[in-house]
Amino acid sequence: MKVSAQRLPESQVLLEIEVDPEQMERSLDKAYRKLVQRVDVPGFRKGKTPRAMLERHVGRERLVREAVDILIPEAYSQALDKEEIDPIGQPSIELLRDEPLSFKATVPIRPTVELGDYQSLRVERDEVQPGEGEVDSAIEELRHRYAVHEPVERPVQTGDIVRAEVRVVIDGRDLHHDEDAEFRLKEGAMLLLPGFAEGLLGAEKGTPKDVTVTVPPGEGSLAGKTGTVTTVVKEVKQERLPELNDDFAREVGEGFSSLAALRERLANDIRERLEAQAEENYREKALTALVEAARTIEFPPVLADREIERLVRDQARSTGMEVDRYLQMIKKTPEQLREDLTPAATERVKRALALTQLAEDEKIIVEPAEVDEEIERLAASSGQQAEQVRRMFASPDARMAIERSILTRKTMDRLVAIAGSARGGPAAKPAAKPARKKAKSKKTVKEES
């Protein structure tokens, strides 16, 4: 067998393989032994037909095709051993000649990554300071959360909470009917269809009111069609906001001694949230800088292909759909979605490879005890399911997944230390902050990054 190897861009190797006639003849004999067990030839018992008669019956082309199917994997494996090539995926095969067999195999091999002088990498941190307007907005949200909704006998106004019977008829079709809908007329917010919320203003209790609406673009066959939303208001409630004073502060959450204390707590909550966001953004910027500063990040297209498949599955899973149904929903072909996702997938592969190489260069490892500690941490936070969590992570595959997660975290920590230090040394960790009372506001309570 003759084999030649040529290195290609994107971490691939082109193998040209030519099989000698003797090896081809052996594969033809194997093909005969397989076919003779499956093919009925008149006048012969199955499995007993001579090769010449079988070949005459099925045609030599079929015998050769069967032999080629057997021989290509064998010849490819022998060529890999001969050239000492370690593939990371399936090859792309181009058949040149089938008898004797000659073909090309484009083989994806391990990526080549050279980070260069990453120790000199520096990334500036963004300043974090909550604006006064953010605290005011948080205060206003709390006021709305603690507001009292009082029934009123007057026409509907902006800000009211309305309970009503609602019927939607578009282009003569009855599309929606709710006998006891409840909604709030927030300023600038859309209800059901554009124009409905505005048209409902001034509606009186018990009196039907028709609002003409038009279906916006992007809503299928109904786009651009006009219709009517008929509403019969059953109840109107107005929102009465609490006075902004110390008494209000004492009612919020577990209670604050004064309005000033509440504002301080909200400002600290906002600052912590912004700091967490800034830290996440900083880690992203540091990783982007590592990729951009690398001398070489070369990888075979198969890695991007795998990442695209993963992204497609994740997108479909986020909607609770199978991939085919998801593609129908977004009205795209697999080829169109693949084209859309290629840039993101390529970037994700580069980042993963750069981070893996950094871990190797910095000799970052994960000890078994660290995996045990992480599993115990997860179990401890699972309450009554602690034992179930321990069993779930007892398998080698599960432990390997935990190990990879820890390795990624440790490597990112090291990258952040390099990017944020004058000498590339370990960065100082912020001191732990004492626990404080929560204001229980959706936007201001500290979020997990």
CA 321 to CA 314: how far, in whole Å? Answer: 10
Q: Would you state the pLDDT for residue 64?
A: 93
Residues of the chain whose pLDDT is less than 50? 423-449
Specify whether the backbone of 166 is left (phi greater than 0), alpha (psi in -120 to 50) or beta.
beta
The verdict on 359 and 251 lying in the same domain is: yes
The verdict on 159 and 197 lying in the same domain is: yes
The verdict on 140 and 152 lying in the same domain is: no
Q: Would you state the pLDDT for residue 436?
A: 43
User: Residue 355: inside a domain, yes or no?
Assistant: yes
The verdict on 12 and 136 lying in the same domain is: no
The verdict on 370 and 442 lying in the same domain is: yes
Q: Which of 87, 110, 133 is the last residue of a domain?
A: 110
Q: Would you state the pLDDT for residue 23?
A: 93
The verdict on 88 and 172 lying in the same domain is: no
User: Residue 334: inside a domain, yes or no?
Assistant: no
User: Residue 303: inside a domain, yes or no?
Assistant: no
The verdict on 404 and 273 lying in the same domain is: yes
| Residue 178 belongs to domain with CATH number | 3.10.50.30
Q: Which of 180, 214, 240 is the last residue of a domain?
A: 240
Angle between helices 60-83 and 51-58 (to 10 degrees): 110
Number of domains observed in the structure of the chain: 3
Q: Would you state the pLDDT for residue 393?
A: 92
Q: Would you state the pLDDT for residue 424?
A: 42
| Residue 46 belongs to domain with CATH number | 3.30.70.1050
Say if residue 398 is exposed, middle or buried (CB neighbours under 10 Å; 0-12, 13-18, 19+): middle
CA 129 to CA 258: how far, in whole Å? Answer: 23
CA 241 to CA 177: how far, in whole Å? Answer: 32
The verdict on 106 and 139 lying in the same domain is: no
Measured from the Cβ of residue 420, the count of other Cβ atoms closer than 10 Å reads: 19
User: Residue 337: inside a domain, yes or no?
Assistant: no
Q: Would you state the pLDDT for residue 445?
A: 28
User: Which domain range does residue 185 map to?
Assistant: 148-240
CA 392 to CA 117: how far, in whole Å? Answer: 41
* Cα–Cα nearest to 100, from 152, 42, 23: 23
User: Residue 308: inside a domain, yes or no?
Assistant: no
Alpha-carbon distances of 141 from 137, 144, 239, rounded to whole Å: 6, 5, 13
User: Residue 301: inside a domain, yes or no?
Assistant: no
* Cα–Cα nearest to 85, from 180, 167, 162, 3: 3
The verdict on 73 and 176 lying in the same domain is: no
The verdict on 214 and 256 lying in the same domain is: no
Q: Which of 240, 261, 276 is the last residue of a domain?
A: 240
Q: Would you state the pLDDT for residue 404?
A: 95
User: Residue 325: inside a domain, yes or no?
Assistant: no
Alpha-carbon distances of 115 from 209, 350, 361, 365, 424, rounded to whole Å: 68, 11, 9, 19, 15
The verdict on 350 and 419 lying in the same domain is: yes
User: Residue 19: inside a domain, yes or no?
Assistant: yes
Q: Would you state the pLDDT for residue 21?
A: 92
| Tokens matching residue 419 | 């990017």
**Model-level pTM?**
0.71
CA contacts within 13 A on the Cβ side of 24: 18
The verdict on 10 and 71 lying in the same domain is: yes
